[in-house]
Amino acid sequence: MLSYRHAFHAGNHADVLKHLIEIAVLDYLGQKDKPYWYIDTHAGAGGYALHEGYAAKNAEYLSGIARLWERSDLPPAVAAYVDVVREMNPDGELRFYPGSPWCAAAVMPQSDKLRLFELHPTDFQLLEQNFGGQPRRTQLQQANGFEGIKAILPPPPRRGLVLIDPPYEDKRDYQHVVTALKEGLKRFATGIYAVWYPCLQRAEMKELPKELKKLPAKSWLRAELHVQAPSADGFGMYGSGMFLLNPPWTLPATLKEVLPYLVEQLGQDAKASFILETGGDL
């Protein structure tokens, strides 16, 4: 079952939260003069044209990145993210949006490596078009990312970020995330892991952060951006979250500044809000 296409959602509020945190973590890793790897279990196409095809259909970016595009009061971590999107749109018009691999490649030192998994044949082909020309730096696999990471953890430099961003169309993805993290921590206990998840009124979603808090990592961070109140009929995504294991110690302070700003800019009703929680030795 592979009907999910990320292009429909490119640049929406969930991408803003995810990519902003991804860039903040990679910027942190890049501060030390030591190599690291970026591993993306669900890479998508790599980059998206916003005015064409699926992305133009619902134009979800209009309530995401587009709301930040013209602002001159961006907090530094939001500005670092918007700068990456600007690099893709050098003439100043918002027409292209970077996926998670593109965000990573934009901020990582050239010597650091990317390992990207994507299962959908069409998105994998697009990913190859976007990244196939950098074989020394980037390896792509059309494979199940939950399984694929087992073979590459720990990465040789023993530093890195693993981004896990499944579609959750298949309810089993919730359990796959927990299992992949358990396995990952056994192989690479000091790695930084970031999991994206949708905020839905579904039992599996409510359980996920509880399950993730129980994992044997030294520390964790949960950040959720709720752009609207949960709907009365119980359907629909009212926001999204990022759960990190072993996050940078600097991230809580960054998000204390960023999340209220995102609520103000991306909130769709008066109930827009955020959650920021940490645990372990953070």
Indicate the residue among 112 and 173 with the shorter CB distance to ligand SAM: 173
Q: Which CB sits closer to ligand SAM, 80 or 282?
A: 80
111 labelled ligand-binding: no
Picking from 184, 182, 113, 123, the residue whose alpha carbon sits closest to that of residue 148 is: 184
- Tell me the β-bridge partners of 221: 244, 278
CB of 121 to ligand SAM, least distance (A): 9
Identified catalytic residue from 27, 40, 112, 165: 165
Peptide bond into 154 cis (omega under 30): yes
Q: Which is nearer to ligand SAM, 197 or 249 (CB)?
A: 197
Specify the residue, 175 or 273, whose C-beta has the smaller distance to ligand SAM.
175
Residues that bind ligand SAM in the complex, under the rule CB under 6 A: 2, 4, 6, 18, 41-44, 99-100, 117-120, 123, 144-146, 165-167
Alpha-carbon gap, residue 83 to 196, rounded angstroms: 22
Q: Which residue is nearest to ligand SAM (CB)?
A: 99
Concatenated DSSP letters for the chain?
Answer: -----GGGGTTSHHHHHHHHHHHHHHHHHHTSSS--EEEESS-TTSEEETTSHHHHHH-GGGGTTHHHHT-S---HHHHHHHHHHHHH-TTSS--EEE-HHHHHHHHS-TTSEEEEE---HHHHHHHHHHHTT-TTTEEEE-S-HHHHHHHHPSPTTS-EEEEE-----STHHHHHHHHHHHHHHHH-TT-EEEEEEEE-S-HHHHHHHHHHHTS--SEEEEEEEE-SPPPTTS-S--EEEEEEES--TTHHHHHHHHHHHHHHHH--STT-EEEEEEEET-
Shortest reach from residue 55's CB to ligand SAM, in Å? 12
Pairing outcome for strands 113-117 and 219-226: unpaired
> Has 176 been labeled as part of a binding site?
no
Least CB distance to ligand SAM at residue 9 (A): 7
Nearest approach, Cβ of 34 to ligand SAM (angstroms)? 25
Q: Which is nearer to ligand SAM, 42 or 226 (CB)?
A: 42
- Say whether 93 counts as a known binding-site residue: no
> Is 42 labeled as ligand-binding?
yes
Active site residue 123: no
Residue 234, annotated as binding a ligand: no
Report helix, strand or coil for 25.
helix
Has 211 been labeled as part of a binding site? no
> At closest approach, how far in Å is the CB of 120 from ligand SAM?
3
Whether 144 has a binding-site annotation, put simply, is yes
Residues annotated as part of the active site: 165
List the binding residues for S-adenosyl-L-methionine: 19, 42, 100, 118, 144-145, 165
